[in-house]
């Protein structure tokens, strides 16, 4: 496990290089996301030259990210599993000219994992939460109450709207 995942380009051919690894993502990746922790991500696939001489990376990625529950902000596991199929180079000869010997695929993995992060996640959507507290109450559109101190302002706005 490490924070780099390199493909040795010298070993890539039409049959490909098999990738079967477990990776973790450190704080430098997580700091601008809602992911709290991302360890033990399984990556299984291969990198190969296509018939058009492009380097292709195909793999299956699965793991569990730690997110904060949208209601109570408790850390919860969110499982994910997806496929990646990416063209890493438009032209393999261009890579050879640049004398690159290895290719780090961590950024490709990271970009695809970030797409799996839900906007909002609740570990237990059926769990009931208290909807009021000391001096506050959760109000929806159907049950909203007008503060009596604002009633004169609402009357004034209604009069202006009718004129």
Residue pLDDT, tens place only, 137-157: 777 666 677 777 888 888 888
Domain boundaries, the chain: 6-114, 132-162
pLDDT of residue 2 exceeding 50, the answer is: no
CA end-to-end distance (rounded Å), the chain:
71
Q: Kindly indicate the confidence band of residue 114, based on its pLDDT and cuts at 50, 70 and 90.
A: very high
pLDDT recorded at residue 3: 58
What pLDDT digit, counting tens, does each position of 7-40 carry?
777 777 778 888 999 999 988 999 888 999 999 9
* pLDDT reading at 123 higher than 50: yes
Q: State how far the alpha carbon of 51 is from the alpha carbons of 18, 42, 89, in Å.
A: 18, 28, 13
**How many Å is the maximal CA-CA distance in the chain?**
79
* 127 has pLDDT over 70: no
pLDDT tens sequence across 43-84:
999 988 888 888 888 999 999 999 988 877 889 999 999 999
The pLDDT of residue 1 is above 50: no
Q: What is the mean pLDDT of residues 80-99?
A: 70
Mean pLDDT over each residue of the chain, to the nearest integer? 81
Cα 1 from Cα 20, distance rounded (Å): 11
Distance CA 86, CA 111 (A): 12
Which of the four pLDDT bands, split at 50, 70 and 90, describes residue 96? low
């Amino acid at each position: 496990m490490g924070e780099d995942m390199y493909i040795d380009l010298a070993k890539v051919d039409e049959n490909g290089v098999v990738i079967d690894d477990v990776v973790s993502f450190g704080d430098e990746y997580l700091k601008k996301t809602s992911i709290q922790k991302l360890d033990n991500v399984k990556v299984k696939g291969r990198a190969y030259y296509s018939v058009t001489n492009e380097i292709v990376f195909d793999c299956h990625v699965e793991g569990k990210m730690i997110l904060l529950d949208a209601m109570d902000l408790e850390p919860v596991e969110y499982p994910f599993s997806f496929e990646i199929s990416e063209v890493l180079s438009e032209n393999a000869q261009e890579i050879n000219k640049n004398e690159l010997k290895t290719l780090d695929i961590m950024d490709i993995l990271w970009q695809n994992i970030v797409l799996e992060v839900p906007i909002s996640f609740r570990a237990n959507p059926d769990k009931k939460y208290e909807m009021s507290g000391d001096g506050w109450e959760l109000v929806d559109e159907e049950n909203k109450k007008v503060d009596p101190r604002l009633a004169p302002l609402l009357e004034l706005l209604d009069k202006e709207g009718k004129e």
